[in-house]
Amino acid sequence: MHGTAVADFFDAVPIPSQHRFVVPKITITQQTIAKARRDAADAKARFEITDVQAPGLILRAGPTGLLWQFRFEMHGRGTRLVLGSVDEWSIAEARSLVLEGRKLIAGRIRRPDDEWVHEMRVSMGKAAAAPVTVAHRHSTFWTYKQAVTAYMEHVKRTKSPATYRDYRQTLGNGDLAQLAKRPVPSITRPDLSKIIAAVATSGRESTAEGMVRKLKPFWSWMSDDAQRGDTGVEHGIMAGLKAPPRSRLSEDQFEEAEAAIRYVPPMHEVGRILAIARSGALDEIVGLAIELLVFAPQRRRAIATARMDKMRAISPTEGLWRIPAPHRKTAIMRGEFSELVIPLPAPAWSAVKKAMDLGDPTDERRVFFQRRPRRAGDKMDHIDPSTLTHTLSYMPGVTASPHDLRRALATHGENDLGLSRFDTKTVLDHSRGQAPGDVTATSYALSDGTHYTWRIMRAWAEHVEKAYRDAIEFDDRLLDVEWIKQRIYEARERSKGRGKPVSLVKVSPANMWSEAEA
């Protein structure tokens, strides 16, 4: 007898309550089954025996025979599932069924039911693979793609646009797209570890590490009480997720990597960057943004999102730039909500003034505005921070990134200008030179500090202007606009893989969003 018909065969023979009794939990053996069969037949009694080796496995005995049942609870609802008679399933097979059923429950994959029992019969050769009438009850929890979509709304609301794009690209990349339709409770830490390991061994080790940094907070968010009813994710299950160790580097590779991480552009390179920015070979707005980056090396997002209403002239040639806390990388994390005020000496203020004159005087939001949207249909806004990185990478004879220019100020400021470590911390927004948790600095001493920082910024501006003159004297091609334009064009083409082979190993497959956005 199969299916639900077996569930009712005891009820065909009513048994007086005085003949019912329960046997304590034991390890069920063949002798147990034989004795239960005799006892049920002789006493016309109905009773149950619970197996201690497979929690939830019950041997139910009655006058008409013995059968196995699986007792469990899922989603707060208790269930007794009839597995079949003892003649169909051996003790070992019955325990195996219960073990498989418990895996489904623990993973929130599906509720074991009559269809599942039939599937197990088919898999073990006890029944033909015929369609069943009972509808398959899929998990009611979110799939991976549904969970990522919901999480991205949370990220969009609480993080910066750049962070939103980064998380969306990583959590929806082609490597994780294979999980798109799986219920998230069924995705285990070994599942993710296997995917991350494959990414690392393909040569994308930093990508694998980035996936870990984004998957762990994603899983933590899913385990919060507000989402757990939709996700079924328990606290801490991804706590041990990590990327494989990085490949061992040779001595030469190590030195190259160390140099790249801590690269300090020499002053002649700083001067070269300024010369190219002023040459007219770049888009005018981008060139002016890079001038400000050189003279006031703040983080690239602060440069790109600089606001007109935060710029104030204090003389015909100089001004102040007030950077709000949300535009600074770590200010909010430090619990600091005041504005960072950067003095802008004449060369820096001149670049800002030219950019504002080019813009819309009624729009106080953007100093460095977009000439065209990133994608068709996008709203026009400030230039993208990545524009600064890309533009520097295309410049002939330039290795520095925007962040490297911050190292230039700190290193050459101390070596060449005699600035102290406190001086450079103050203008680089590294806690503005104060100790973390300094209550006096954050709540009482509310001076903007420009009485101190003007000296630093003017000295740096003079040093950069000298480097600019030296760079042109050394390489007069920096005055040749067409030569610079051609070199930038060639570098941009190379960055797109044109004219040279592209490594297929490091090319990510189509991401999870491709199908929806096609």
Read off the pLDDT band of 78 (50, 70, 90): confident
**Is the pLDDT confidence value at 364 over 60?**
yes
Q: Which residue has the higher pLDDT, 357 or 13?
A: 357
- 291 has a pLDDT exceeding 60: yes
Parallel, antiparallel or unpaired: strands 77-85 and 311-313: unpaired
Reference 384, options 405, 402, 400; nearest CA is 402
Instruction: Write down the pLDDT at residue 234.
Output: 83
pLDDT at 262 over 90: no
Report the interhelical angle of 385-394 vs 481-495 (nearest 10°): 110
The 3 state secondary structure assigned to 359-383 is CCCCCCCCCCECCCCCCCCCCCCEC
Tens of pLDDT along 188-223? 899 999 999 999 998 888 899 999 999 999 999 999
Asked whether residue 442 carries a pLDDT value surpassing 70, the answer given is no
DSSP SS3 for 294: helix
- Average pLDDT on 459-469 reads 97
413 burial class (0-12, 13-18, 19+ CB within 10 angstroms)?
Answer: buried
What pLDDT is attached to residue 248?
A: 74
What is the separation, in whole angstroms, between the first and last Cα of the chain? 51
Distant-in-sequence, close-in-space partners of 165: CB < 8 Å, separation ≥ 6: none
Average pLDDT, the chain: 81
Confidence of residue 433 (pLDDT cuts 50, 70, 90): very low
pLDDT at residue 504, as a whole number: 34
Picking from 309, 315, 313, the residue whose alpha carbon sits closest to that of residue 323 is 309
Say yes or no to pLDDT of 330 above 60.
Answer: no
Give the Cα separation of 464 and 271 in Å (integer): 6
Packed helices 385-394 and 284-295: angle between N→C axes, nearest 10 degrees:
90
Cβ(158)–Cβ(150) below 8 Å? no
Region 268-479: CATH code: 1.10.443
Task: Summarize the confidence of residues 22-31 as an average pLDDT.
Answer: 79
Q: What is the pLDDT of residue 472?
A: 95
Confidence of residue 240 (pLDDT cuts 50, 70, 90): confident
In this predicted structure, the answer to whether residue 42 has a pLDDT above a threshold of 70 is: yes
Task: Give the pLDDT confidence score for residue 250 in this predicted structure.
Answer: 65
Contact 141, 232 (CB under 8 A): yes
Confidence label for 76 from pLDDT (cuts 50, 70 and 90) = confident
What percentage of the chain exceeds 70 in pLDDT?
Answer: 77
SS3 string of 295-313? HCCCCHHHHHCCCHHHEEE
- At residue 132, does pLDDT exceed 80? no
pLDDT at 362 over 50: yes
d(CA 54, CA 101): 11
Question: Lowest-confidence range among 52-56, 95-99, 161-165?
Answer: 161-165
pLDDT given at position 40: 81
Q: In this model, does residue 138 exceed pLDDT 80?
A: no
For 3-123, CATH number out of 3.10.129.10, 3.30.160.390, 3.40.50.800, 3.30.360.10 equals 3.30.160.390
CA atoms of 84 and 78, how far apart (whole Å):
19
Q: How much is the CA Rg of the chain, to the nearest whole Å?
A: 34
247 has pLDDT over 90: no
Distance CA 414, CA 357 (A): 35
> What does the pLDDT look like over 392-404, one tens digit per residue?
999 999 999 999 9
Confidence at residue 340, expressed as pLDDT on a 0 to 100 scale: 86
What's the pLDDT band for 20 if we cut at 50, 70, 90? Answer: very low
Instruction: List Cβ neighbours of 204 (8 Å cut-off, separation of 6 or more).
Output: 506, 508
Q: What is the pLDDT at residue 220?
A: 93
Give per-residue burial for 374-397: e unless 16+ CB within 10 Å, then b: eeeeeeeebbbbebbeebbebbbe
Helices 402-417 & 385-394 angle (0-180, nearest 10): 70
pLDDT for the residue numbered 203: 86
Instruction: Please give the distance of CA 415 from its chain centroid, rounded to a whole number.
Output: 39
Domain positions in the chain: 3-123, 144-255, 268-479
Q: Dump pLDDT digits (tens) for 142-159.
A: 999 999 999 999 999 998
What pLDDT score was predicted for residue 13? 35
State which H helix or E strand residue 469 sits in.
Answer: helix 450-474
Alpha carbon 336 to its chain centroid, in Å, reads 25
pLDDT digits (tens, 9 = 90+) for 496-516: 776 444 333 334 445 666 554
How confident is residue 75, by pLDDT bands cut at 50, 70 and 90?
Answer: confident
Question: Identity (one letter) of the amino acid at 78?
Answer: G
Kindly report which listed range (78-87, 124-133, 224-233, 235-244) carries the lowest average pLDDT score: 124-133
| pLDDT band, very low/low/confident/very high, at 426 (cuts 50, 70, 90) | confident
CATH class belonging to 144-255: mainly alpha
Number of residues that this document lists for the chain: 518
CB-based contacts of 472, cutoff 8 Å, min separation 6: 271, 275, 478, 479
pLDDT at 284: 95
- Long-range contacts, 89-95 (Cβ 8 Å, 24+): 91/28, 91/29, 91/30, 91/33, 93/124, 94/51, 94/54, 94/57, 94/68, 95/51, 95/53, 95/54, 95/57
Task: State the alpha helices, DSSP H only, in 202-329.
Answer: 205-223, 225-231, 251-261, 267-278, 284-295, 300-304
